[in-house]
């Protein structure tokens, strides 16, 4: 599977109420995730820790889907009276596959809310890690760069792909990788493929290829079939979630649209 870099800043934080079990690899506790994004979560808990504590999490939805993640406590807010405290947790996205797993999990949750789902759909497109980057010869006038953006640019020597940038940055990659998107947006970088320049983040997005369209339609059909299975067993929330994911991938599909209207009506 092609590895992608996603701009986690583009995705909204979801207000949720999901049971979770977390541990410090010796003991386990129960809590409730009340806010979730692709980068971390907030957990209501009567068991609090000092910032810097490593924890593992299993988060569950009503439909039985699970997210297993590891992260570090960044901040703590003590409870008052009978109210539990709050833990602010940042996921350790250096773990293989965790960034994709959290993104997929959050996107499925977002699909249950049409407004949030549309915000996800409008979010910036991920960049393939094999994508080549190069600096423009002339920068836009008066462009201001952050320290992170300057650090990222220092790794672009001629034509460099994101794998090369990640290798050059080492441990700093996690905190600097967002600069790929901001520099594209500012017109300082462009992305190219073997055939030539395919555009920048400021220009119009290229139309999907026939292969990409076929893959999206196939995925939409998979979600549609899952929705019909859930509907047949009486699990309407799961059916709606899968239909909303399907319509994002295949907007205007008459069969998916009709099924969604029937359940929402």
- Give pLDDT, residue 11: 56
- Give pLDDT, residue 9: 61
| Count of residues making up the chain | 265
Split the chain (265 residues) into runs of 10 and give each run's mean pLDDT. 65 80 88 86 89 90 86 86 86 75 79 58 67 77 80 77 83 78 81 40 47 76 87 83 72 82 76
Angle made by CA atoms 81, 87, 92, in degrees to the nearest 5: 170
Instruction: List the structure tokens of 55.
Output: 């924890």
206: region left, alpha or beta (phi > 0 left; psi from -120 to 50 alpha): beta
- Give pLDDT, residue 114: 58
> Rounded distance, CA 190 to CA 205, Å?
13
How much of the chain is helix, strand and coil, in % rounded to 5?
40, 25, 35
- Give pLDDT, residue 164: 84
Residue ranges with strand state E in 61-163? 66-77, 85-91, 127-128, 132-135, 160-161
CATH superfamily, region 4-122: predicted glycosyltransferase like domains (2.40.10.220)
155, 169 in Cβ contact below 8 A?
Answer: yes
- Give pLDDT, residue 29: 92
151, 169 in Cβ contact below 8 A?
Answer: yes
pTM confidence score: 0.46
């Amino acid at each position: 599977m092609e590895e992608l870099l996603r701009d986690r800043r583009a995705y909204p934080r979801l207000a949720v109420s999901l049971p979770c079990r977390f541990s410090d690899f010796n003991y386990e506790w129960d809590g409730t995730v009340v806010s979730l994004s692709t980068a971390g979560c907030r957990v209501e808990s009567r068991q609090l820790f000092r910032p810097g504590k490593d924890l593992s999490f299993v988060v569950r939805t009503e439909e039985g889907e699970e997210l297993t993640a590891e992260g570090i406590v960044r901040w703590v807010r003590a409870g008052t009276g009978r109210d539990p405290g709050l833990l602010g947790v940042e996921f350790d996205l250096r773990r293989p596959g965790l960034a994709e797993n959290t993104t997929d999990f959050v996107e499925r949750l977002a699909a249950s809310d049409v407004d949030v789902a549309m915000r996800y759909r409008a979010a910036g497109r991920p960049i393939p890690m094999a994508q080549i980057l190069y600096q423009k010869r002339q920068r836009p006038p008066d462009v201001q760069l952050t320290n992170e953006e300057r650090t990222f640019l220092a790794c672009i020597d001629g034509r460099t792909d994101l794998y090369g940038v990640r290798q050059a940055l080492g441990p700093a990659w996690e905190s600097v990788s967002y600069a790929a998107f901001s520099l594209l947006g500012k017109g300082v970088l462009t992305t190219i493929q073997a055939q030539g320049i395919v555009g920048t983040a400021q220009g119009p997005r290229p139309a999907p290829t026939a292969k990409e369209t076929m893959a999206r339609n196939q995925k939409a059909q998979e979600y549609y079939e899952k929705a019909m299975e859930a509907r047949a067993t009486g699990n309407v929330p799961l059916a709606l979630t899968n239909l909303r994911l399907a319509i994002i991938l295949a907007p205007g599909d008459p069969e998916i649209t009709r099924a969604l209207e029937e359940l929402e009506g």
